[in-house]
């Protein structure tokens, strides 16, 4: 995977599922990160080819819980992000998915309690030796690119020193979120401190922070000198931010997300979470649409709410037909439904 001059979808909890990744890619994202998945959870999974949907699932053993879903359409661009605090466990988890993804990323920037309480995410920023152990172990044992994503440390010099240590592990790229752990989303991203990292490294740096319009991709690249640019909230609110022709109306983008969620049988809780995030940015959950999403219990309810009942029935009828046919593949049928 090449990390220069790329537009990148950031990893987002409960959002970076297959439908949203494919949506972003359709609008122009070159690289799409999945949401962080904890190594403890992944090592309890088994890989299953889901011929009914046309995808590959990593399912928690003994349950029907799909922890990660991918498909051949995104094989060349999807990055699997692992939350870990142990090199051996990280490798075990990565080995399960490495043949189905384009790269493995280690999350070293998440400030959420579920991540840092286990010594993962941003908790790793203060443990350079452990960072080195994890990254070198993955690099030594895997044949796909290894990357990581960090936040700024207390001082710019500290960030640069850590970035240099990371570079020495042989990673293919480093993503830098221009905020510190204590910063909130409303605090401006510090592009100048990302620039300090860029000027100190020879590997590609992916700049992240305060990208909300297509023009911001160029602005942050000029300001930081970064090789590529990553966007989170700007893409969540309107995934067509990746389109050089300009953003589509959010209602159109939202409807396409609903269709992809139906097509790929996305978890309804994830679908509802993403829709609510979109609605809250442009409207209110107190209006009929928001209340309808909250009350929805399954994808059929979502389809009805957004006037996609015909599409929902078509997708499921098509699956039933393909499932009983030896001459067709669901992935081909799914591709035709996407267009």
Q: Cβ distance 65 to 118 under 8 Å?
A: no
Could you write out the DSSP letters of every residue in 63-79? S--EEEEE-GGGTTTEE
CA 306 to the chain's CA centroid: 25
Q: What is the pLDDT of residue 21?
A: 98
Q: What is the pLDDT of residue 259?
A: 98
Q: What is the pLDDT of residue 334?
A: 47
Q: Which two tokens stand for residue 136?
A: 């070198």
Pairing of strands 37-38, 45-50: unpaired
Of 45, 71, 110, 148, catalytic: 110
b/e for 194-204, b at 16 or more Cβ within 10 A? bbbbbebbebb
Q: Which two tokens stand for residue 274?
A: 């993403």
Q: What is the pLDDT of residue 325?
A: 43
Q: Which H or E run contains 59?
A: strand 55-60
Residues recorded for the chain: 339
Q: What is the pLDDT of residue 329?
A: 43
Read off the pTM: 0.93
Q: What is the pLDDT of residue 321?
A: 63
Q: Is 110 a catalytic residue?
A: yes
SS3 of residue 42 by DSSP: helix
Binding site residues, as ranges?
11-13, 81, 149, 177, 232-233
Q: What is the pLDDT of residue 322?
A: 57
**Which residue ranges in the chain fall short of pLDDT 70?**
321-339
């Amino acid at each position: 995977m090449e990390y220069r001059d790329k537009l990148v979808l950031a990893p987002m909890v409960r959002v970076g599922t297959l439908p949203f990744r494919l949506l972003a890619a359709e609008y122009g994202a070159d690289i799409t990160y999945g949401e962080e998945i904890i190594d403890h959870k992944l090592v309890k999974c088994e890989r299953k080819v889901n011929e009914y949907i046309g995808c590959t699932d990593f399912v928690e053993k003994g349950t029907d819980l799909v922890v990660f879903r991918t498909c051949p359409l995104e094989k060349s661009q999807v990055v699997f992000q692992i939350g870990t605090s142990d090199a051996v466990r990280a490798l075990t988890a990565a080995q399960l998915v490495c043949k189905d993804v384009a790269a493995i990323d280690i999350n070293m920037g998440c400030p959420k309690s579920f991540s840092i309480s286990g010594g993962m995410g941003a908790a790793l920023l203060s443990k350079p030796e452990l960072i080195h152990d994890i990254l070198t172990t993955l690099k030594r044992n895997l044949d796909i690119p290894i990357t990581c994503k960090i936040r700024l440390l207390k001082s710019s010099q500290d960030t640069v020193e850590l970035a240099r240590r990371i570079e020495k592990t042989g990673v293919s790229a480093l993503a830098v979120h221009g905020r510190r752990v204590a910063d909130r989303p409303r605090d401006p991203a510090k592009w100048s401190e990302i620039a300090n990292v860029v000027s100190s490294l020879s590997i590609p740096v992916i700049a992240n922070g305060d990208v909300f319009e297509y023009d911001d991709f160029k602005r942050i690249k000029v300001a930081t000198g970064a090789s590529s640019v990553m966007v989170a909230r700007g893409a969540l609110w309107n995934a067509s931010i990746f389109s050089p022709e300009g953003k589509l109306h959010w209602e159109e983008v939202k409807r396409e997300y609903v269709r992809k969620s139906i097509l790929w049988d996305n978890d309804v809780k994830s679908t509802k979470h993403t829709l609510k995030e979109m609605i809250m940015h442009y409207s209110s959950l107190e209006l009929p649409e928001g209340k309808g999403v909250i009350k929805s219990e399954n994808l059929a309810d979502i389809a009805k709410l957004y006037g996609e009942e015909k599409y929902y029935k078509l997708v499921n009828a098509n699956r039933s037909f393909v499932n009983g046919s030896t001459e067709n593949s669901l992935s081909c049928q799914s591709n035709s439904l996407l267009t």
